[in-house]
Amino acid sequence: MAKLDAEARSDMSQNTFAFPKQRKEPLEDASHVRNAIARFRQVEGVSDEERDEAWARIKAAARSFGVDVKESSWRELNKDSARR
């Protein structure tokens, strides 16, 4: 996964993040999508509604980048499991 520096991250559109309001979990490539899934439950300060919306963005990005997502909802994610 390419590491984003502060300047590159600030230049990204809000639509490129799973949580756009908080600018958390960028979804710019397959590696970032996998990372967003793996860290999804670690995101703090968001409501379940924001999580539902973020999950929809993650699933759309996953389809776009060919990332297999078995869970239909973020609620199915195992709190302790590592992801691919």
* Closest CA relative to residue 36, chosen from 16, 21, 10: 16
What is the rounded average pLDDT of the residues 34-63? 96
> What six digits make up the tokens of 76?
């199915």
Domain residue spans in the chain? 20-76
Beta bridge partners of 75: none
- As a whole-number percent, the residues of the chain with pLDDT over 70 amount to 80
SS3 content of the chain, % helix, strand, coil (to 5): 50, 5, 45
Question: Per-residue pLDDT tens for 8-47?
Answer: 666 677 789 999 999 999 999 999 999 999 999 999 999 9
* Predicted TM-score (pTM) of this structure: 0.80
Cα angle 75, 20, 63; round to 5? 60
pLDDT of 36 reads: 97
Instruction: Identify the residue with better confidence: 66 or 80.
Output: 66
